[in-house]
Structure 1
Amino acid sequence: MEIEIATLGGYEEVGRQMTAVRAGEDIVIFDMGLNLSKVLIHDNVETESMHSLDLIDMGAIPDDRVMSELEGDVQAIVPTHGHLDHIAGIPKLAHRYDAPIVGSPYTIELVKQQIADEGKFQVDNDLVKMKAGGTMAIGDSEQVEMEFVNVTHSIIDAINPVLHTPEGAVVYGLDKRLDHTPVIGDPIDMDRFREIGRQDEGVLCYIEDCTNAGRKGRTPSESYAKKHVEDTLTSMEDYSGGIVATTFSSHIARVKTLVEYAREIGRQPVLLGRSMEKYSGTAERLDFVDFQGDVGMYGHRKSVDRAFKRIMKEGKGNFLPIVTGHQGEPRAMLTRMGRGETPYEIENGDKVVFSASIIPEPTNEGQRYQSEQLLRMQGARLYDDIHVSGHLREEGHYEMLDALQPQHLIPAHQTLKGRSPYVDLATSQGYKLGRDVHVTQNGSVIQLAE
């Protein structure tokens, strides 16, 4: 059976992930993401009302024109998890393909909301929920099957899809860390990865996220981050002024931890910001998390400002706002607070806890710097990087190679420079660049079996 892999997005940058795998006459697309930094450099851009071609020209979503070169029919569009760099291109591109969108339950709920917000295209693709451990037939040949393997990442309900073909399995490995003690959900299913690596024809190809490939050691568990949050917040227990925390709004496990330790130090947690309300509200509605007790969630500006007025009236020392804006996004809640555009008054000595790292991209780094300076000018004390990454470091990559023993490797989710540490790592394990390690670009097609 002919196996081809089209690398459409995420092979020259961190963002706008999209990869297509053709097995015979059947094609499966993995991810359709957005490169948010390409949007943020423009003022007041509303992607919902923009045409896909304009977004492609901006470098914001994948250029999928190479799909016309693949001889087959798209049978499924598979987002691996709910981060925008994996799902936010779906409203702009999915309608071009007569195929269902298949994902885990939480991911599909987030995709549904993305589609509902779309203002330019009508997206009528069927939405299919499949849990980790589930399988589905691809096409009519009965020779190709897709499986979801449970992985752990900085968002709940993440999976790695595996396409089983007569030539071996194609494992799409974006994004994960090897977390055996997660705060929410099941540990990564390494037993299943080992089985896949040793059954039938083994693994033909492994497509891997290289975000932290150059960092030594292993990525700590989310339970480690929970301890870090506990240590940070309990150290502030006797402080009577304002404490504000910010994290990725999609990081439900971290939000849960912040809520828990806010209460531990005698403060009422309040979730503020449109995306904070969306992700946490969806997770609670689907029973992925129970915040217990009264947790206010406010997304719209008027309701957020009312919440801030209540906090100021009843005393900042009684509350812990958990807000958007850890990357310094211009319209996010923490940035507005730093500019003095909310009723919440930051005073000398108030604490701001960044339970997130800076996404390593110049736009984010510049915006975060500006946000920090605005907060410092008002006298805020900053607590940085109370966080663990959602991506593998060196030891995790070694463990995945040992588990899967793939014939071919395709490094992804990084610039050319960012992928080079993974190439070095693979070379140390006996792989060879140009023979079985394929460093590719957006818009390329790699043939693995004829």
Structure 2
Amino acid sequence: MEIEIATIGGYEEVGRQMTAVRAGDDVVVFDMGLNLSQVLIHDNVETEQMHSLDLIDMGAIPDDRVMSELEGDVQAIVPTHGHLDHIGALSKLAHRYNAPIVASPFTLELVKDEIESEQKFGVENDLVEMEAGETMPIGERCELEFVHVTHSIIDAINPVLHTPEGAIVYGLDKRLDHDPVLEDPIDMKRFREIGREDEGVLAYIEDTTNAGRKGRTASESVARRELQDTIHSMEDYDGGIVATTFSSHVSRVSSIIEFAQEIGREPILLGRSMERYSGTAERMGRVNFPDNLGMFGHRKSVDRAFKRIMNEGKENFLPIVTGHQGEPRAMLTRMGRGETPYDIESGDKVIFSARVIPEPTNEGQRYQSEQLLRMQGARIYDDIHVSGHLREEGHYEMLNALQPQHVIPAHHDLEHFGKYARLAKSEGYEIGRDLHLSDNGNIIQLVE
């Protein structure tokens, strides 16, 4: 069976992930995402007014024209998890393919929300829910499987396409977390089984975000303990405390809520995406929030919540807000500019439970946001966080578990691919033979 892999998006940058695998006459597409730095998509800015061609031209969504070179029919579109750099282009591109969107339950709910927000295209692809551990047929000779992984969002999976030539493992976005906060540990047992059954693993497509960082990525429980220590250290402070983190990181948000209550403060979620992700998780029963937890996304309701905080005393509340990357229209940035009823005063605490995404736009915005907060006297607690991506030891462990015949670095640029290539070469892989450095719009022929 002929096997080709089209590296469509995410092979020259962080973002707009999209990869297609052709096995004989059948094609499976993995991810359709946005490049968040190319358009103001963070938290409070939508792209539903923009046409897909405009977004392609500005490098915001994948240029999928290479799909016309794959001689097969798309059987499934598979987003791995609910981050916008993996699902944000579905509402712009999925309608081009007569194929269902297949995703885990929480991811599928977020996909529905993306599609409903689209105002230019009527995306009518069937939506198919599939749990980790389940499989579905692809054509007559292949099978799609979901393997549970841990990341900085719940319900993440690594999809595996089983073919007669071996398995294709699409390994983007995970950490080897054996002590997560809201869900099961990563299913390393299944990865080891896949690496040793039938024809083994033909190809492994791997996220290289942290490939140059030594050691292993810590568990979410480590970030939880650091958050607990930080917030409890503020128990006797009688001024304002504000926290920000990734809106999609429901596990982290739930920890902040819990610790706010432990020090006698009422947590309130503020910002459109904060309300979206946490509200969806709560409705699905994936998290147990306090019955009276306030979630406010629209500007007027957010400002009313801020006024209530100021009227009843900042010392009684802990708002959890959007804006961890300094996004211009997010809540924390507006607070720093003095555009909300919430007054930041000298000594007030601002907790960033997130690191800066290493990209110039984010770094500049975050710097500006922090400076605005400092000018008002805020005390900043930075980087109370653990990454959602593998470091070096995690990469070694995955290569050992899967023992792939071919390895394809993804989810970054050539600089990070080079770091991963050095790691893979130490395991016996060679560039041009079984280690494939690709770019956007390229096709790799694995089996002729």
- Written as runs of structure 1 = structure 2, the 5 A alignment for 1:134-213 is 134-139=134-139, 141=140, 143-213=141-211
| 2:86 match | 86
- Equivalenced residue count is 447
Instruction: Give distance in 2, aligned partners of 1:428 and 1:46.
Output: 44
Structure 1 position 102 matched with structure 2 position 98: no
Structure 1 position 53 matched with structure 2 position 53: yes
Instruction: Give distance in 1, aligned partners of 2:95 and 2:220.
Output: 36
SS at match of 1:4: strand
Instruction: Give distance in 1, aligned partners of 2:45 and 2:205.
Output: 32
What is the CA distance between 1:295 and its match in structure 2? Answer: 0.9
| 2:76 match | 76
Contact in 2 for aligned 1:40/1:363 (Cα 8 Å): no
- Written as runs of structure 1 = structure 2, the 5 A alignment for 1:21-60 is 21-40=21-40, 47-60=47-60
| 2:64 match | 64
What amino acid maps onto 2:347 in structure 1? Answer: G
Instruction: Give distance in 1, aligned partners of 2:41 and 2:169.
Output: 34
CA separation of 1:45 and 1:272: change in aligned 2, threshold 3 A:
closer
| 1:295 match | 293
What is the CA distance between 1:294 and its match in structure 2? Answer: 1.8
What is the CA distance between 1:221 and its match in structure 2? Answer: 0.2
What is the CA distance between 1:119 and its match in structure 2? Answer: 1.2
SS at match of 1:40: coil
- Written as runs of structure 1 = structure 2, the 5 A alignment for 1:114-153 is 114-139=114-139, 141=140, 143-153=141-151
CA separation of 1:41 and 1:186: change in aligned 2, threshold 3 A:
closer
Among 213, 228, 231, which residue is 2:229 paired with?
Answer: 231
| 1:251 match | 249
Instruction: Give distance in 2, aligned partners of 1:128 and 1:186.
Output: 22
Among 316, 319, 331, which residue is 1:318 paired with?
Answer: 316
SS at match of 2:356: coil
Structure 1 position 2 matched with structure 2 position 2: yes
What amino acid maps onto 2:302 in structure 1? Answer: V
Instruction: Give distance in 2, aligned partners of 1:418 and 1:48.
Output: 32
Instruction: Give distance in 1, aligned partners of 2:368 and 2:350.
Output: 15
What amino acid maps onto 1:444 in structure 2? Answer: N
SS at match of 2:228: helix
| 2:325 match | 327
Among 418, 426, 429, which residue is 2:427 paired with?
Answer: 429
What is the CA distance between 1:50 and its match in structure 2? Answer: 1.1
Instruction: Give distance in 2, aligned partners of 1:103 and 1:60.
Output: 22
Instruction: Give distance in 1, aligned partners of 2:317 and 2:416.
Output: 41
What is the CA distance between 1:51 and its match in structure 2? Answer: 1.1
Instruction: Give distance in 2, aligned partners of 1:135 and 1:66.
Output: 28
1:342-389: CA deviation from partner (whole Å, max 9, x where unpaired):
000000000000000100000000000000000000000000000000
| 2:112 match | 112
| 1:420 match | 418
What is the CA distance between 1:134 and its match in structure 2? Answer: 0.7
CA separation of 1:86 and 1:52: change in aligned 2, threshold 3 A:
same
Among 306, 309, 312, which residue is 2:307 paired with?
Answer: 309
Contact in 1 for aligned 2:45/2:329 (Cα 8 Å): no
Instruction: Give distance in 1, aligned partners of 2:6 and 2:319.
Output: 44
SS at match of 1:321: strand
Contact in 2 for aligned 1:213/1:397 (Cα 8 Å): yes
Among 358, 361, 370, which residue is 2:359 paired with?
Answer: 361
Instruction: Give distance in 2, aligned partners of 1:187 and 1:434.
Output: 35
Instruction: Give distance in 1, aligned partners of 2:262 and 2:395.
Output: 37
**TM-score computed with the length of structure 1 as normaliser:** 0.98
Instruction: Give distance in 2, aligned partners of 1:195 and 1:109.
Output: 30
Instruction: Give distance in 1, aligned partners of 2:18 and 2:207.
Output: 12
What amino acid maps onto 1:34 in structure 2? Answer: L
What is the CA distance between 1:292 and its match in structure 2? Answer: 2.6
What is the CA distance between 1:293 and its match in structure 2? Answer: 3.6
Instruction: Give distance in 1, aligned partners of 2:40 and 2:97.
Output: 28
What is the CA distance between 1:41 and its match in structure 2? Answer: 10
What amino acid maps onto 2:110 in structure 1? Answer: L
Instruction: Give distance in 2, aligned partners of 1:432 and 1:101.
Output: 35
Contact in 1 for aligned 2:41/2:47 (Cα 8 Å): no
SS at match of 2:324: coil
Contact in 2 for aligned 1:41/1:363 (Cα 8 Å): no
What is the CA distance between 1:40 and its match in structure 2? Answer: 2.9
Among 227, 238, 241, which residue is 1:240 paired with?
Answer: 238
| 2:392 match | 394
Structure 1 position 262 matched with structure 2 position 244: no
SS at match of 2:404: coil
Contact in 1 for aligned 2:151/2:389 (Cα 8 Å): yes
What amino acid maps onto 1:127 in structure 2? Answer: L
**TM-score computed with the length of structure 2 as normaliser:** 0.99
Q: Which runs of 5+ in 1 are unaligned?
A: none
SS at match of 1:330: coil
What is the CA distance between 1:418 and its match in structure 2? Answer: 1.5
1:40-92: CA deviation from partner (whole Å, max 9, x where unpaired):
399x9852111111100000000000000000000000000000000000000
Contact in 2 for aligned 1:329/1:368 (Cα 8 Å): yes
| 1:282 match | 280
CA separation of 1:284 and 1:41: change in aligned 2, threshold 3 A:
closer
Instruction: Give distance in 2, aligned partners of 1:46 and 1:40.
Output: 8
What amino acid maps onto 2:256 in structure 1? Answer: L
SS at match of 2:417: helix
Contact in 1 for aligned 2:271/2:298 (Cα 8 Å): yes
- Written as runs of structure 1 = structure 2, the 5 A alignment for 1:368-407 is 368-407=366-405
SS at match of 2:66: helix
Instruction: Give distance in 2, aligned partners of 1:134 and 1:358.
Output: 35
What is the CA distance between 1:120 and its match in structure 2? Answer: 1.0
